[in-house]
Structure 1
Amino acid sequence: MRTTDLSELAAFDAVARHRSFRRASEERGVTASAISHAVSNLEARVGIRLLNRTTRSVSLTDAGAMLLAQLSPAFGEIGSALDALNRFRDTPFGKVRINVPSSAALFVFGPVMAPLLERNPNLELEIVATDRLVDIVAEGFDAGIRLGESLREGMTAVRIRPSARLIVVGSPTYFERQPQPRTPAELEDHVCIRNIYPNGTAYPWEFVRAGKTTQFEPSGPLSLDDHELMVTAALSGHALAYVWEDRARPHIENGRLIECLVPWRAPEEWLYLYYPARKYISAGLRAVIEALRV
């Protein structure tokens, strides 16, 4: 097979996995038109349509699905073979793409980015921070990070630093108007920010005391999916916020925020880096895991 043929197959593989020419072009580091041209050349060469294209979507034909099923393991083996060359280098080489929640990105990667890249000068680290739920395989990530160990089948999870805890905070200005709540039930008398995922789904505030878990679902006028905005809203004196302790801690220490319901604090939870279970992971991803592992 000629190099151009392999390039066309790689372009098709990327489009088929992402169901998107744009995302495929981002992964391959070329323009979307170049990807489209490569796939069209492949279809012309084999004489069969592999993709159904509309202005809004890309889907596989039956022939395209069959080709993808056979190509994916082959490209996986090629990637593993190339990555195995890292053992002949002093440090890992190549790009590692990681998805991480926006609310946790600073605390996970802030302390390790510079040392990791200094130790591995041939490593290229691409971190995409979003609280949107992401299919790391479909979107071309090597790994993802999220709270909790429960993952879909076929994923391996590694516990990483730091642990995380959610706490309730409000400003001194707010508590001049309202007494601090003493129990989660008293939050009903307060203005509380609704925590939501990017898709708009709200999640409750959770508390634990004496082994008993209690949940509270705010119904306030403000719904946010970004913890930095939640902290800002709390600082303004508008409402109470349920945020990552690490985000609020500097403001608690300088007196601009007050933590309440301390006896009801939920226990610390661990973050996990997860990736598709397979026999061989890249040396670059292995270096990232070792930098983050507990």
Structure 2
Amino acid sequence: MGTWDPGILGRVRIDPNRPSPARVYDAFLGGTHNFAVDRSVASRIVELVPEMGALARANRAFLRRVVRWAVARGVRQFIDLGSGIPAEGNVHEVALAADPAVRVAYVDVDPTAVLYARHLLTDEPHTVVVQGDLRDARSVLNDPDLLTLIDLGRPVGILMFAVLHFIPDGPVLDALLRDYREAVAPGSVMAVSHASGGLHPDAMARVADLYSRTGTPFVPRDQARLAALFDGWELVEPGVVHGADWHPEPADEPLDVAAASLMLAGVGLRP
């Protein structure tokens, strides 16, 4: 990937005084593509849930395992929804290491994330970066840039990592899940990681309150509620589990029980 040039921030309208979930997550990962307001929110969340940094890294590890698993099953294209700010071990890096023919579309509504991604992925011909709202699946899937790279008539990996917990229950969530499912070919994969109250329900409730005061809803869900989001998909064994327990690998960073309980994950196959 290319080298980051801070000067390109002046090319788009970005409010450095309003926290962004993408930039807060970047702060959890120890990234530098965030502002003081994002680091302040991240620090307050870590005070409530000290395991958050380890949890963010575990989420990235789950992403890598899912991508390798999907490529091994024959999936050669991915749509990463709510992709956030590029970090080490991105989808295309993992996928292309397994098969150089893989294509990846990154989609995010946050202009900061899109700006960084487009700059850093300029020299990656097998990727495209789309600014779009994952809640409007039809608009995302009909984006002309996405369609230059992704063939919806063939199996695709729909990836939603640490993003659905920012969408409350209701018709918007129901519609987006239905639209993505109906748009992709049989043999496609949907992978989701999601915040859970786990062993810290009171702390996660305070995290939800903190996000709400920044204008962003935050809805942790339990195992049953997350499993329900896979309606129309065939859940892959072992089903909806703690993210660290989904096909773990020896090199994964170990998580204690309390940290592991805060993230649920699942993968579904489109029949």
TM-score normalised to structure 2 length? 0.25
| Larger relative strand fraction | 1
Larger Cα Rg: Structure 1 or Structure 2? Answer: 1
- The structure whose RCO (Cα within 8 Å, separation 6+) is larger is 1
TM-score (norm 1): 0.24
